[in-house]
Amino acid sequence: MKYVHLGRSGLKVSRLCLGTMNFGPLASEPESFAMMDRALELGINFFDTADVYGWEVGEGITEKILGRWFAQGGGRRDKVVLGTKVFGRMGEWPNQSRLSALHIKRACEDSLRRLQIDYIDLYQMHHVDRQAPWEEIWQAMEQLMREGKILYVGSSNFAGWHLAQAQEMAKHRNVLGLVAEQSLYNLNDRMIELEVIPACEAYGIGLIPWSPVARGLLAGSIQTATTGRRADEDLQKDVEKYRPRLEAYETLCRELGEAPAHVAMAWLLHQPAVTAPIIGPRTMDQLNGTMRTLELTLSKDFLNKLDTIFPGPGGPAPEAYAW
């Protein structure tokens, strides 16, 4: 396993990040435990979760699973760089969601209790809150840092200008600011190349792509499936929408002799701004299979062919659309 710095921080994380969104809803607790143990065996030290995962309001089901796994000891907590998130609705009352200082404080303390740990390595805002001023957000995050409850702050689903706002206010307050941004990014969804990626590069923010195989669209989706993610009705609509490019893509992958999902992941690892794509296995076989991604080196010619099939927005703004 290779390790890289998370953004401009001194923290080192594995080139793949273990996403835990399926732990609870799709993978049982024993299966989740086994996958986390296996991830450590493979050298994956970067785990990602969120207070809302498990999708029962206020329950924090996935965080609780991680907490019981950490509680087994064996050095599990010391080996893991753990990221969780704040923003989502954790109750029915007005201040049980979003990014007020009150919710940030309570959500962090609740996550620590569920996770059965003393501090969170990377505390991420799950979405931008346009109603919460940056002065309030950074004040709340700084307080959590002083109390030793969080070490680093990250964001998720931010636009480029949100990243700029966050970093300029952090600079004004003489704090480190954001070290990571989680964004939707894959071969078929390249919008962030316009402004998010340039902002990340300019401010030294590590990029953590989520949905690296586009919910299964890039994992051999044109083959008929009756079960699993590829049988999802919405996914099948996307398959029909993008069928010509998917057929060209899967043909190219067959010529290379590699699985489409592995090629999609490898493409992300070839992007200079990317720190660690999030993998979200539902089974041990999926976790083990993903390791092939780390062994793939894509030639410049092959990368150019992928750009032809999935052209993206044309590069960074404004050049992409101005001339």
* Total number of domains constituting the chain: 1
Residues 126, 127, 131, 132, Cα dihedral to 10° = 40
Rounded to a whole number, what is the largest CA-CA distance in the chain?
Answer: 58
Query: Quick one: what percent of the chain has pLDDT higher than 90?
Result: 96
Q: What's the mean pLDDT in 145-168?
A: 98
CA gap 18, 6 in Å, rounded:
15
What the block records as the tokens of 14 is 């594995």
Cβ–Cβ < 8 Å for 129, 166: no
At 230 the pLDDT is 57
The catalytically annotated residue of 53, 123, 152, 249 is 53
* CATH number of the domain that residue 34 is part of: 3.20.20.100
At 213 the pLDDT is 97
Cβ–Cβ < 8 Å for 89, 56: no
Query: Is 321 assigned a catalytic role?
Result: no
Give the residue from 10, 29, 4, 38 showing the smallest Cα distance to 18: 38
The tens digit of pLDDT for each residue in 293-317 reads 999 999 999 999 999 999 999 999 9
Range of the domain at 51: 3-322
The tens digit of pLDDT for each residue in 41-66 reads 999 999 999 999 999 999 999 999 99
pLDDT grade for 233, boundaries at 50, 70 and 90: confident
110: enclosing H helix or E strand: helix 101-115
Look at the pTM and tell me if it is higher than 0.85. yes
Q: β-strand 206-210 against 178-184: which pairing, if any?
A: parallel
